[in-house]
Amino acid sequence: MRCRMNDDGTSWMVEITGCKIPSGITIPINSSMIDGNYEWKCTKNNDGQIVMQKTLHANATCGEHQRGTN
């Protein structure tokens, strides 16, 4: 987050600059990263809403096995 003050000092606003995932890493808006078995995406919608999504990435494992194998 970033705090911005108007030049006249009468008001301020907080600007969201990224999403923080459980491991503590911050992902910038409109970026993604792989952390463990998951791909995390941090995006900003047209209406200004910040969205964080978590999906299994293509090379995710299940213990010692590749996903989808026995």
DSSP per-residue letters across 19-31: EE-TTSPEEETTE
Q: What is the pTM of this model?
A: 0.74
Mean pLDDT is lowest, of 16-20, 32-36, 51-55, 59-63, for 59-63
Give the residues across from 23 on adjacent strands. none
User: Model confidence at 2, in pLDDT bands (50, 70, 90)?
Assistant: confident
pLDDT for 45 equals 94
Say if CB 5 and CB 28 are below 8 A apart.
Answer: no
User: Model confidence at 42, in pLDDT bands (50, 70, 90)?
Assistant: very high
Q: Which residues of 21-44 are buried (b: 16+ CB within 10 A; e: fewer)?
A: beeeeebeeeeeeeeeebbbebee
User: Does 32 score more than 70 pLDDT?
Assistant: yes
